[in-house]
């Protein structure tokens, strides 16, 4: 059992846990909207009310998360099948020898085709975000801390679920080439909310821990939301970044655009 196989299984297991946690949050929001509509059904008739649009988006998001959970679960089953001892089940081995590659290709295609076209932040979106900027963990689990940066997607391999990304910021590598390329798994990528589609962005409440681009840089760090509910979806977040202390020990409040703030990954190390 090779280390890369174990790492892939662990990454996808974490992704499955993250998806289930996000589903719970979406369902909580749906229940809140239902209760609100039941108590004040007349609100939908008011000019400018977006309750029904928000509820539709929540249902669509819940559906996408559910379908993605199935996809990631299937990938995990496939990974575990590949690690089964070859000598314990002769019949299974004979079947795999003749059709494994074909089955993998069909499995990958079917997983992608089952997803909704509206799924901008999940599997299908990954095939269409070439050239876009995303948040990526580029240290692949090495070191004491997770390192997240803004990178450009160059390629997405649908079979391996790996991205090739480009760090466009000049680096200090020995060759002096500046820009660096990385290959990272699906679980190490978080698409940003669309700047021109603020309704697709989550609305993080006061006190929520998030991952955000530090102003003036392309690096993302853990931060805490300190402003109350935003009046408009396009409003900036007011954040306090961890380890951003001033001389007096206080944490300065920094404004960050909503499309540069994402949910804090489970198990984030900083």
Neighbouring residues of 143: CB distance < 8 A, sequence distance ≥ 6? none
What pLDDT is attached to residue 120? Answer: 42
Average pLDDT over residues 224-240: 84
What pLDDT is attached to residue 173? Answer: 52
Average pLDDT over residues 20-43: 82
Average pLDDT over residues 94-106: 49
pLDDT at 259 over 80: yes
Quote the mean pLDDT of the chain: 76
Average pLDDT over residues 28-43: 80
What pLDDT is attached to residue 142? Answer: 58
pLDDT bin (cut points 50, 70, 90) of residue 7 is confident
pLDDT at 14 over 50: yes
Neighbouring residues of 47: CB distance < 8 A, sequence distance ≥ 6? none
pLDDT at 139 over 90: no
pLDDT bin (cut points 50, 70, 90) of residue 223 is very high
Average pLDDT over residues 140-157: 81
- The model carries a pTM of 0.54
pLDDT bin (cut points 50, 70, 90) of residue 95 is very low
- What CA–CA distance (Å, rounded) separates 194 from 170? 25
Buried b (16+ CB within 10 A) or exposed e, 204-213: beeeeebbbb
- Residue 263 class from Cβ within 10 Å (0-12 exposed, 13-18 middle, 19+ buried)? middle
Least confident of 7-11, 23-27, 165-169, 240-244: 7-11
What pLDDT is attached to residue 172? Answer: 55
What pLDDT is attached to residue 6? Answer: 77
Closest CA to 12 of 187, 156, 136, 159: 187
pLDDT at 211 over 60: yes
What pLDDT is attached to residue 177? Answer: 56
pLDDT bin (cut points 50, 70, 90) of residue 178 is low
pLDDT bin (cut points 50, 70, 90) of residue 106 is low
What pLDDT is attached to residue 195? Answer: 85
Place of tokens 């450009």: 152
Place of tokens 């409440």: 205
- Residue 157 class from Cβ within 10 Å (0-12 exposed, 13-18 middle, 19+ buried)? middle
Buried b (16+ CB within 10 A) or exposed e, 31-54: eebeeeeeeeeeeeeeeeeeeeeb
Average pLDDT over residues 163-172: 80
pLDDT at 91 over 60: no
Between 84 and 40, name the one with better pLDDT: 40
């Amino acid at each position: 059992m090779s280390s890369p196989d174990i790492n892939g299984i662990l990454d996808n297991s974490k992704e499955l846990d993250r998806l289930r946690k996000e589903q719970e949050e979406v369902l909580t929001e749906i229940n809140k909207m239902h209760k609100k509509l039941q108590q004040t059904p007349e609100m939908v008739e008011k000019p400018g009310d977006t309750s029904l649009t928000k509820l539709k988006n929540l249902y669509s998001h819940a559906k996408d998360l559910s379908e993605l959970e199935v996809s990631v679960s299937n990938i995990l089953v496939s990974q575990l099948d590949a690690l089964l001892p070859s000598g314990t089940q002769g019949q299974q081995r004979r079947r795999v020898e003749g059709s494994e590659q074909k089955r993998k290709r069909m499995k990958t295609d079917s997983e992608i085709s089952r997803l909704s076209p509206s799924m901008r932040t999940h599997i299908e979106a990954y095939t269409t975000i070439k050239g876009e900027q995303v948040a990526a963990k580029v240290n692949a689990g090495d070191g004491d801390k997770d390192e997240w940066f803004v990178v450009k997607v160059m390629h997405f391999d649908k079979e391996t679920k790996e991205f090739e990304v480009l760090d466009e910021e000049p680096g200090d590598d020995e060759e002096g080439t500046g820009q660096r390329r990385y290959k990272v798994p699906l679980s190490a990528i978080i698409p940003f909310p669309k700047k021109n589609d603020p309704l697709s962005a989550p609305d993080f409440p006061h006190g929520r821990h998030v991952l955000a681009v530090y102003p003036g840089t392309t690096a993302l760090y853990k931060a805490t939301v300190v402003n109350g509910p935003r009046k408009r979806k396009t409003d900036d977040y007011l954040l306090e970044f961890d380890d951003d202390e001033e001389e007096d020990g206080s944490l300065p409040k920094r404004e960050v655009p909503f499309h540069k703030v994402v949910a804090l990954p489970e198990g984030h190390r900083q």
